[in-house]
Amino acid sequence: MKFLLIICCAMSMSSVFSQKEIIDTLHTANGDMVVFANRTWAYLEDLNFDGIMNQYMYDQVDCDSNLNYVQSWDHDVCYTSNLHNDVNKLKDTIWLCLEDYESDSLDGLFHMPVEGRVTSHFGWRRGRNHNGTDIDLVTGDTVRAAWGGKIRYAKYNKSGFGNLVIIRHHNGLETFYAHLEKHLVVPDQEVKPGDPIGLGGNTGHSYGSHLHFEVRFYDIPMNAEKIIDFKKGVVRDENLLVHRGLFRPGGHSSVSSATSSANRKYYRVRSGDTLGAIASRNRTTVSRLCQLNGIRPTTILQIGRNLRIR
């Protein structure tokens, strides 16, 4: 319903947010809304949104004073850091969960943005960096959200992307969908994996119909083929360790030597087990168990399930 209300409004949400004078507040079934002096409106939750979709990842980055990474919530620019975030400052590894099977909304599951063969890879191309993966399509093919999240940007981009959609996901990453024929979403709209976000096309600096697909971490482009198996349409590993190797061309491994199967240890859940008891018994913490398994402290443990403890 929220999507329908936004479409009926037929306006740029960024222009809504620029209005400062609030003259009324409305309580609706879809959430509280504020009405501005020019008779435009916004959901209160969107007005106060700080852009943080993954608190764990944000805390890991924010507490590292050497990074000084910036990432705001802006509907009008592609790169909210102005491309000042330096991948060479990334010394430690940051864990992200790409497949959250415990999420009731299934926002954490992956969905291929479009079915088609990869026609161009991440890396050096024609004298410049190609920061995405190009996927063949026919103009008008439906392009879908790779993961669940929130639309940050949806408009024509004059820098070469053409019609562009950017989604910030619950896993903390952002994905770009460029050269679209048409947008099917608006800023601040929430989407689930597989939701239609646009129609494929040939807009911007494009030499034929295709989807230019990017995966970015704090505005820094990653090699999507190290994360996603485009032939099978699945992620290569639900546990993504973000390290500098992911931002380089070549190879398809998304795990470092620190996560090789030889170093992993698992525990089979038994009747009466709790996360606290399992953590204590194996000299770890509930927080670490949740990180390794993509679960929450409140997750109900199923007897017989294998939990990774290292």
How confident is the model over 118-135, as pLDDT tens digits? Answer: 999 999 887 788 999 999
pTM above 0.75, yes or no: no
Give the mean pLDDT of 163-172.
96
User: 139 near 160, Cβ under 8 Å?
Assistant: no
What is the secondary structure of 231-256 as a DSSP string? Answer: TTTEES-SEEEE-GGGGSSS------
Q: What is residue 228's three-state secondary structure?
A: strand
Taking alpha carbons only, the member of 132, 183, 187 closest to residue 162 is 183
* C-alpha to C-alpha distance for 144 and 18, rounded to whole angstroms: 29
pLDDT in tens, 39-82: 666 677 667 788 999 998 999 999 898 999 999 999 999 999 99
- Higher-confidence residue of 283 and 180: namely 180
| pLDDT > 50? residue 2 | no
pLDDT at 309: 84
Average pLDDT, whole number, for the chain?
Answer: 83
Q: With the C-alpha atoms ordered 239, 242, 244, 249, is the resulting torsion angle positive or negative?
A: positive
pLDDT in tens, 82-122: 999 999 999 889 989 887 655 445 566 899 999 999 999 99
* C-alpha to C-alpha distance for 241 and 93, rounded to whole angstroms: 6
Domains defined for the chain, CATH in brackets: 2-47 (no CATH), 54-254 (2.70.70.10), 264-308 (3.10.350.10)
Q: How far from chain centre, in Å, is Cα 163?
A: 19
* C-alpha to C-alpha distance for 168 and 149, rounded to whole angstroms: 6
